[in-house]
Structure 1
Amino acid sequence: MMVITRAPYAADPARHGGREFGPQRRAGESGGPPDIAGETRGPRSEFQRDRDRIIHSMSFRRLKSKTQVFIAPEGDHYRTRLTHSLEVAQIGRVLARALRLDEDLTEGLCLAHDLGHPPFGHAGENALAEAMQRHGGFCHNAQALRTVMRIESPYPENEGLNLTWDLLEGLAKHNGPVGAPNWALAELDEAFPLDLGAWPSLEAQIAAVSDDIAYDNHDIDDGLRAGFLELDDLLELPFLADQWRVVERRFPNAPRDRQLRELVRDQIGLMVNDVIDHTAKQVVGMGSVDDVRNANRQLGGFSPEMAAHERTLKKFMYDKLYYHSDQVAGAERARDVVARLFAAYSQDSSLMPDDWQARLPEKDPQRSRVIADFIAGMSDRFAIRACEEIYGERPKGLSNV
């Protein structure tokens, strides 16, 4: 069996930055504190524990019914936030292994990166941001931290999942250093400082680019299946057209749908190999994870050429898929559902479950923030059902595939 030695610039679970609650361990001390009162729960590293806590959380399970691209799709084959997160984690593990990073930390970050998304994806986020405008706003990335540090609380003695500093840091800086954190992230950073101004670990940088690779390509797959994209649309992009010609030459007699899926797989492979090659060059001379954080630049990611292709692809996807007229119409209807839920709970908190009523502060902004927490945790179908129960009419026209 091949043994992969961790690179010197990789995060080390034996030298993690501690947890917010419970016995705190200094960097370099091995073993780590037991889970509860002297018990241990299997021979796992601290980053494996993080990953497992995420997988076993209710917030992670709810991702199965949250929008990825299409709102409340009727078909079984369209991606949801859950299947997307699993695909991101698969890509992240491949990259981490090739670069000799900590696979468990990378996987945990990939699995947790979308935990803060409300129902209906960005449409729901926009509605909450508008409703919360006078109370500090709403951001799904900060909400992911709020979810794992305060809302999802299965343990008797502390709030949150009590994840390691390294995982929380990576979630907070999913897109790099944060210069102006919103209220949610600032509040959490004050309680457990996350060094928001510095670049995160390579594991976090790799998790972020894995997210880009997954949704850039898998959204093409879903867009083709739904009929929102056509092959002729894709061939407008020269680098995709080049790959399509390669696929046609390799599989000239294959059915068109299989050729298209091969195109998507090839694109993922090209991007993954590009990230491995480019990142390996960037980390030459890095002797520790602190060197990565102090480099003051992104080390893990696409080459400049691939980054330019990826930006072109993103623009194409916004023009052809995300801002398609049917998508925009569905998003407006979804925004209305979330806005109506926020208005209803703000006017009459008795409409909320008893446990949420019990934790509801009396005054704003804290009161509205807890209402937003409740709505953000909803799945698409739960939000639709809640709106129907409150207003006596089921929202129509939300599913456009």
Structure 2
Amino acid sequence: MHNQSLAPTRTKDFETLRSEMQAKQDQPETELTPMSLEGCVVRMADTVSYVGRDIEDAIRLRLIDRSELPPVSTQVLGETNGTIVYNLVTDILKTSHEKAYVAFSPEVSEALRTLKQFNLERIYLNPRMKPYTARIRDLFRLLFEEYLAAVEHRRQESVIFRGFLNGIAPEYVERHRPAEIVRDFIAGMTDHYFIAQCPEHLRPAYLQCPEP
């Protein structure tokens, strides 16, 4: 999914939100729009933060070479993560200033769409990644069960307390079930942080790939 612009749907109430969340669970391809301008910024920021970072990781793992990046994208956005982030953020600020929506300019949006498609085909669906899918799924399950037990038994020495719960509002803990707390903790991890929490002997071999 790619959005050139996002405008909040301010007329939503909580009943509508609950209905949309259920629809998303039933049909994952259902497209939802944020309720606030801040939500639109978060949605756009997610794309800005990962598209270039994933390219750098893929180059480090030798899945792709920088020279293979689509010229229609690199000519507009650059070819390194730092340059891509800078150009995307700058474009959003220029295009969205004093507007009731958050948007990329048409040129940058098309360059980004092409780059995201490249990432999908050459990185996320890369056949070299498939052998590790089951291993990564098992690691998610392992960490989820470990953190869930830590929350349920109040193991303060666990990283979920030291790196998450100890700095969070008590109201959050009161309003969320242990499984939801664990979900939120894992969802906020970067790839590198996630892997660092996994037992070293269970980490996928490709992550040990040396720097080129």
One-letter amino acid of the counterpart of residue 56, structure 2: D
Determine the C-alpha separation between the residues in 2 that align with 1:265 and 1:197.
28
One-letter amino acid of the counterpart of residue 149, structure 2: M
The residue aligned with 2:202 is 395
Determine the C-alpha separation between the residues in 2 that align with 1:207 and 1:279.
14
Label 1:199 to 1:225 Cα distance change in 2 as closer, same or farther (>3 A). Answer: same
One-letter amino acid of the counterpart of residue 36, structure 2: P
Q: Is the contact between residue 243 and residue 266 of structure 1 (CA under 8 Å) also seen in structure 2?
A: no
Determine the C-alpha separation between the residues in 2 that align with 1:356 and 1:218.
35
Q: Is the contact between residue 279 and residue 301 of structure 1 (CA under 8 Å) also seen in structure 2?
A: yes
Aligned residue for 2:111, secondary structure, equals: helix
1:230 to partner: Cα distance = 0.8
Label 1:335 to 1:302 Cα distance change in 2 as closer, same or farther (>3 A). Answer: same
One-letter amino acid of the counterpart of residue 377, structure 1: F
Structure 2 spans left out of the alignment, 5+ residues: 1-16, 24-31, 155-176, 187-192
Runs of 4+ aligned residues of structure 1 deviating over 4 Å after TM superposition are: none
Aligned residue for 1:229, secondary structure, equals: coil
The residue aligned with 2:123 is 321
Determine the C-alpha separation between the residues in 2 that align with 1:271 and 1:399.
30
The residue aligned with 1:98 is none
The residue aligned with 1:302 is 104
Determine the C-alpha separation between the residues in 2 that align with 1:375 and 1:265.
29
The residue aligned with 1:238 is 72
Aligned residue pairs, count: 156
**RMSD in angstroms over aligned alpha carbons?**
4.0
Label 1:370 to 1:303 Cα distance change in 2 as closer, same or farther (>3 A). Answer: same
Residue number among 163, 185, 191 corresponding to 1:377 in the alignment: 185
Higher helix proportion, which one? 2
Larger radius of gyration: 1
Determine the C-alpha separation between the residues in 2 that align with 1:225 and 1:305.
29
One-letter amino acid of the counterpart of residue 130, structure 2: V
Question: Mapping of 1:2-401 within 5 angstroms?
Answer: 180-182=20-22, 199-201=35-37, 203-234=38-69, 236-240=70-74, 242=75, 261=80, 264-280=81-97, 283=99, 292=100, 299-339=101-141, 352-353=149-150, 356-357=152-153, 370-371=178-179, 373-374=181-182, 377=185, 380=194, 384-385=198-199, 394-395=201-202, 397=204, 399-400=206-207, 401=209
Determine the C-alpha separation between the residues in 2 that align with 1:320 and 1:198.
30
1:200 to partner: Cα distance = 0.5
TM-score, L = length of structure 2: 0.54
